Structure 1
């Protein structure tokens, strides 16, 4: 029996034989190949996706939170997964080690989830509502502004400065929120305004 086989034909036949033998050795028979081709359900398919900003440094990376239940609607929800937001211009889907570990921070038993207040002379904090906390802050700022606002300097020029109240802003925020914060603080006349990223 005479086989007329060119060098190119031999290489093709040898390559096909090596590939077939390798697949067989790895366990890819016809039934297993069909099973491997089946796509399983995506584990986050039934979760609610919420976009947010990382709470750590001043970079303000975008994150996506996946939960059972709707976090944005204020429902009690179980956080299942956190990842970087690939559509966010700051981090384009990447997260540092602290940002990647946000899930453990969110689930921490020591994490505060509501305002706390310690009355003068008291040795313990007590939980209060957000409305109570905001009322206390607004009242303190108003009283201090009424008592200490410098309306004019020594030359009589209007300055509207409040130097007895300071404001510390959060750095993990959007440009729009930062702009609104700046406008509110400066409209009150507060001079001592800084950002948590520099502290």
Structure 2
């Protein structure tokens, strides 16, 4: 979800207001996906590399995260949205970790839309952690190395139990994955939109879905 800072800079506004506008776009995206009958939505909200930003900006982002969790959980629950968080949540501190756990518990039984938010997430670190878990099981004698296959790796990723993404939308004109769901995106379709995230709305989602429906998904089988 790119473009919060540029959105604010283009309007001569403080950076924090760009992130706040980004939260409004999250609300619109969640509602639009639910209205469209989409069952799974994953938002890349904060990457493991984002910790390298200034301390002030990280503080603004984490404060906004806690505010979102505090005020949006009841709306998510009422609208049938289940919230999950993937990534190194422990890096956010006990207060934020507790807020995440409470939000996940409050929405655990919802089925209309599965909303996953990637926080302090990096796909390479995720794959490395899965590899370490497999290595530990082999060392303990509980896993035969010959049994390690794609399913075994997938089961040890933070997205275990989730379907692989069908469509990945990147905003703000960027055209790269930026360490997002590298394993899971093997056969995803990509749509790149030249819109800053705070301006993203239902019309942009519909534009991406229309493009997705035009695609012929062959999963490596070939043109036939």
- Do Structure 1 and Structure 2 share a fold, with TM-score over 0.5? no
Instruction: Tell which structure's C-alpha radius of gyration is larger.
Output: 1
Where is the helix percentage greater, Structure 1 or Structure 2?
Answer: 2
Q: TM-score range by the shorter chain?
A: under 0.3
Which structure has the higher relative contact order (CA within 8 Å, separation 6+)?
2
- With normalisation by structure 2, the TM-score equals 0.23
Where is the strand percentage greater, Structure 1 or Structure 2?
Answer: 1
- With normalisation by structure 1, the TM-score equals 0.25
